[in-house]
């Protein structure tokens, strides 16, 4: 007869990994962000790295709700695409596999702001 001992209490379960933006993804997003700040459209941003989603939120003013959210959901990679741009009202403006392609919806807004 063998006795099984429980694991020591100091060994806790490892927390599940968070979803985060990679350096190359952030480079693309921050490039667009810099151009929008220069055009006077955006003023602040926030990044949230959660269990299922990473979110880059864009604000016109610091104390407001975000104008746009750029989301990365790796679980949707094989379905609708893991990147999405979501408007202030919660409407999905664009979704896809390629971040640069998805961000084009915001590029159009930059061109309109400059004109």
Query: How many domains does one find in the chain?
Result: 1
Please check whether residue 30 lies inside any domain of the structure: yes
User: Which pLDDT does position 7 carry in this prediction?
Assistant: 58
Query: 95: number of CA atoms within 13 Å, CB side?
Result: 13
User: Which pLDDT does position 13 carry in this prediction?
Assistant: 56
Please check whether residue 96 lies inside any domain of the structure: yes
Domain holding 107, by residue range, is 23-114
Within 10 Å of residue 63's Cβ, how many Cβ atoms?
6
Please check whether residue 81 lies inside any domain of the structure: yes
Tens digits of pLDDT across the chain (115 residues): 555 665 555 555 556 688 888 899 999 999 999 999 998 888 899 998 989 999 999 998 766 788 999 999 888 888 888 999 999 888 999 999 999 999 999 887 666 555 5
Please check whether residue 16 lies inside any domain of the structure: no
Please check whether residue 7 lies inside any domain of the structure: no
SS3 assignment, position 112: helix
Please check whether residue 105 lies inside any domain of the structure: yes
């Amino acid at each position: 007869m063998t006795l099984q001992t429980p694991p020591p209490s100091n060994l806790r379960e490892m927390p599940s990994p968070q979803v985060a933006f990679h350096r190359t993804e952030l480079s693309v997003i921050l490039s667009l962000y810099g151009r929008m700040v220069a055009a006077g459209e955006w003023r602040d941003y926030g990044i949230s790295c959660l269990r299922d989603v990473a979110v880059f939120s864009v604000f016109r003013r610091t104390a407001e709700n975000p104008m746009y959210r750029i989301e990365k959901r790796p679980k949707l990679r094989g379905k609708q695409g893991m990147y999405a741009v979501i408007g202030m009202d919660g409407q999905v403006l664009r979704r896809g596999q390629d971040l640069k392609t998805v961000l084009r919806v915001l590029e159009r807004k930059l061109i309109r702001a400059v004109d």
